[in-house]
Structure 1
Amino acid sequence: MSSLNSRPRPVTTEQLATQQILRGESEANLLWLLKHARQALLSAGDVLLTPDRDNRTLYLILGGRVQVRLDWQGHEALTYLEAGHCVGEMSIIERKRPSAIVVTDCDCQLLLIDEEVVWKLIERSNCLARNMLYTLSSRVRKDNLVIFESRQQQAISEQHSKIDALTGLFNRRWLDDSLPRLALHAQTQQAAMCVLMLDVDHFKRYNDNHGHHAGDCALACVGKTLGENIRPYDYAARYGGEEFILILPDTTASAARIIAERLREQLRNTAIVDQNGNELPHVTVSMGLAELKSHQTMTALLEAADAALYRAKHAGRDCVAL
């Protein structure tokens, strides 16, 4: 820590009375504090607190601003504290090293109060203790809000990481995480569950004839149609490329086939338009249907659906095979 060459301006009791932590303190106690505290002018970048160094000082910020950081690597400070705030009280109360880094963000005027002086002032008056409790409570509340907002953002990010951007359906990552759980639940409850594997017919030809942008529009249309026409408790995911998977809980193979035929018909009759509203050729899909068996692995279930999809293609496409 380095001090500026210029001498700090004298601190008055009126100035101290504006400090949050000294609010309500008597004139006599403020005069006593001025006699037992030290004033300092610090340059930008001076370190006040760091987790690798003991701290026995309460710093009152009389002018300037400090930044609080969790480490030296991040580009953004966790928060900033300006005139009227203090730092260092936690390490004095807990008798532990600071949990964060505090460094001056610009030239700062500070009042340095040693640990012994802090406790003596508390013995003289309960104002400091009361204000410290209020300050700590406010910071805990603020930290809780930051944690809450961080968790919300994390939940949103996690949700987005499991959504396919083009179709709006779940993606392969979600499928790998969720299909085993859903299948285990069905097997444990001895309930039926079916998987439908869909493939857009002749999609490479569609891309070659109409362009990749048209192909993206077709896939987005398929995803939207599936998402809007499955039951509330069904799941639709993009398996990869032009392949999609539907998970149908509590559904037997016979019921799943009716659903598959309805969706197949819906897809072949759905208009596809580009972003400019120009109509594109329709697409059809082939579907492979597999019903979950007792003690069947996910690999075996998907292989059964894939084999059924192959049979649908071999039968001429635009159909459902079991």
Structure 2
Amino acid sequence: MSLKKTIGKFLPIVDGDERKERIAKKVLKLHQQNNDIVNIHRYDMNNVGDYYCAPHLYFKELNGKYLDISDIRSLKKEVTKNWIKQVSNNSLIIGGGGLLNIKYFDRQMKLFEELGARGKKTVIWGAGHNETDRSQFGKVKNYNVDLKKFGLVGTRDYSMDTEWIPCVSCLHSIFDNSYKETQDIGILYSKKTIKNNKNLVNRLSDFPFTSNTTNLKDMISFIGKSNTLVTDSYHAMYWAILLGKKTLVVPTTSKFYDFKYKSVITTFENFTNDLPKAQSYSGVLEESRELNIKFAEKVFDYLNL
């Protein structure tokens, strides 16, 4: 056991995993109820994809009913106290986003799995695998939780043995707008890349670029005026496909390999060589919206809304 883990047993402030474990155990000791509903996802207003991938933004029945999945490890007692209360008292809608097969959310997902097995109403809505081990890219066959223990499941991963439910952000009205193409190629960087890889950004500065740290309007406008999008952001890829754009992706986790409509896998160093391979798709926006609306009907019936 590492020194950090050892110290964390006595001083949880040192180790986020230990803090998560303690909060999970507190939840499991409580009587579980289904009084209302809470939508749990990565509520990060500095990451446009994480923020807009949640059902509570698109259905009046869920308006204002959300919880950040990462608050389980907060250092603020009032935050973790609220997290325990919300999870224990309510039925859970978990997703969207890359919440499966990733260590950051493993303890939370295992907790939700156990709560589902105990009778709490649980829904996975548009979440997907997010494996960081490159040897598993394009090869993920199983999730890190038993989906049979959840009440209702729809994942954004097309090849998995679940109902396919693409990200609910397709329901945003911004995709009904028309955009004039003014640039052949656009590069849209992820939050991590734009922050930590300045040399790369500078090297490719001849191409128009932005990142997913801006806002939805600016991101979609940038995608809309591009004929072809190159990105290492999952939601930028998804939104570009919804808008009928050609897409090339630089994969950072397994999530890029499992959308129904494939993007060209490339690198930032060699993407210009792969441009001729890129293709666009039609009708994806309409299909994604129809699937989410039908799934919502099932969810609301299951939750007695």
Pairwise same-fold verdict (TM > 0.5)? no
User: Which protein is bigger by CA-based radius of gyration?
Assistant: 1
TM-score, normalisation: structure 2: 0.23
TM-score normalised according to structure 1 size? 0.22
